[in-house]
Amino acid sequence: MKKTLVALAAMASLGAMAETTMSIYGIIDGGIRQDSNAAKTSTGGTQSLTQFNNGTLNTSRFGFKGTKDLQSGLKANFKLESGFTEGNGQDSGNVVNPAVTSVPQTASTYSKNTLFDRTASVGLQGSMGALDIGRMTTFAYDMTAGYVIDPMGMEMTNNSHYVAAKSFNINPQGLAIQSSLFTVRRDNTFKYVGTFGGLSVGAAYSLANVAGSQSAGSSMQAMVKYVGDGFALAASTDSLQDGNSLKQTLSTFGGNVTVAGFKITAGGTQLSTPAGFAPVAASFTSNSFSNPAGYIVGGSAAAQTKINVADLGVAYQMGLFNLAAGYYNAQIQQGVLANNTVNTLIVRVKYALDPSTDLYVEADNSKATGLVEAKSAGASLSDTGFTAGLQYRF
């Protein structure tokens, strides 16, 4: 009898040590938006627009994640996450294919009909760090959406207006770090992150799964971040190669400091895409507003594209209110578009109804300069927008 009790106690102890946790989580975020200038016709004309906004501050999503203690300090984990638009219940249509093709394809080839379009990963975590494999976010996205180098944390990047461009994100960081430029998520990825005190380092490699070539469609990333007492600094680099051995490069850098409760953030993003880079060329030629041609008014798939975004902003928590403001300078250089500059100011206020539910209002103003192509096409060089919405997290 005593032996039986001892055995049962030992089994219970082992069960407690091998603890398994799993949770369902998500965000539902929607609102209403008013723009002074939005696309009216395929020729680039504009007029005011009031619309329902899906994923206004952050993409609406749901997911499953879990961790199992394997003992000896090792844990196994998984994460499955899918985005959706609450206005109609459809999936959010994140880009899902690697950049392996040498022929530009339509945008629909790279979107929708993927169950876990945001994340599908499994991995191991121990004292030396975590290694995950599958479909995951890039380090550039992690640094920006994590409020490390972007004062708005990639808020408002799901929203587009028409300031001298076909579809220019309200938060210009979304122009460089978005699905159509293959800088948000990667398929077939091995991603390592190690944290040692305040220092975090990371490396990632994505396979293209192409017979006869280990480089076409592959990508390499690296990241370093340091978090100290009241400040953080971070940088990342990313190189993505298509089927023609053309390489797109992306760099992010910046940080933040907290002084007297005010969090001041500054950062920058630099994206360089060579002429003819297959997936991005598809974005230029497949935009629904195809007259005048191009993702950017006057743009061309056969020209090198450079996007530089610099940001500066501040955030402050005042009781139940969270206040944030960000200023962005975005420059798009492509052939004759050497002076394609857009300056944006965003102000956002959130009010916490409870720890999981926020009401928010937002105002933004964008103004472009130096765009002869946009003027001739009838596109507006400025836009003022107002947004109000509700975000629920579970």
CATH number, domain containing residue 139: 2.40.160
Average pLDDT taken over every residue of the chain: 81
> Domain range holding 364?
36-187+247-393
Mean pLDDT score, 52-65: 91
Coil vs helix vs strand at 375: helix
Over the stretch 345-368, which tens digit does the pLDDT of each residue have? 999 999 999 999 999 999 999 888
Query: For the CA atoms of the chain, what is the radius of gyration?
Result: 22
Q: How confident is the model at residue 166 (pLDDT cuts 50, 70, 90)?
A: low
pLDDT at 269 (0 to 100): 95
Residue 153 reports pLDDT greater than 90: yes
The answer to whether position 240 is within a domain reads no
A 10 A CB-CB count for 152 gives 27
Residue 385's DSSP bridge partners are 35, 364
CA–CA distances in Å: residue 269 to residues 34, 59, 238, 307, 390: 28, 21, 11, 8, 29
**Confidence bin at 162 (pLDDT 50/70/90):** low
Confidence of residue 339 (pLDDT cuts 50, 70, 90): low
Is-contact 255 231, C-beta < 8 A? yes
Q: Is residue 213 part of a domain?
A: no
> What pLDDT score was predicted for residue 291?
34
Which helix (DSSP H) or strand (DSSP E) does residue 3 occupy?
Answer: helix 2-17
pLDDT tens sequence across 240-299: 988 778 889 999 999 999 999 999 999 999 999 888 776 665 555 444 433 333 345 555
Sequence letter at residue 337: L
CB contact set of 379 (below 8 Å; sequence gap of 6+): 44, 45, 46, 162, 163, 164, 165, 297, 371
Does 132 or 374 have the greater pLDDT score?
A: 132
Whether 388 shows a pLDDT value over 90: the answer reads: yes
Q: Which of 42-56, 299-313, 347-361 has the lowest mean pLDDT?
A: 42-56
Which pTM does this prediction carry? 0.85
The arithmetic mean of pLDDT across residues 93-112, rounded, is 46
Domain count, the chain: 1
Would you state the pLDDT for residue 55?
87
Q: Is residue 12 a part of any domain in this protein?
A: no
**Which has more pLDDT, 66 or 72?**
66
pLDDT at 109: 39
For residue 9, being part of any structural domain is answered with no
pLDDT band at residue 306 under the 50/70/90 scheme: confident
Give me the DSSP letters along 116-163.
TSSEEEEEEEETTEEEEEEEEE-HHHHHHHTTSS-TTTTTTTT-EE-B
In a domain, 217, yes or no: no
Asked if residues 75 and 125 have their Cβ atoms less than 8 Å apart, the reply is yes
Average pLDDT score over residue span 336-350: 84
> Which of these, 346, 349, 350, lies nearest to 309 by C-alpha position?
346
pLDDT of 129 over the 90 cut: yes
Please determine, for residue 10, whether its predicted confidence score (pLDDT) is greater than 50.
no
Instruction: Calculate mean pLDDT across residues 363-381.
Output: 70
Domain annotation covers residue 227: no
Instruction: Give residue 11's pLDDT band: very low, low, confident or very high (50, 70, 90).
Output: very low
For residue 83, tell me if it sits in a domain.
yes
Decide if 218 is inside a domain: no
Q: Who's near 110: CB < 8 A, 6+ residues apart?
A: 95, 96, 97, 179, 180, 279, 282
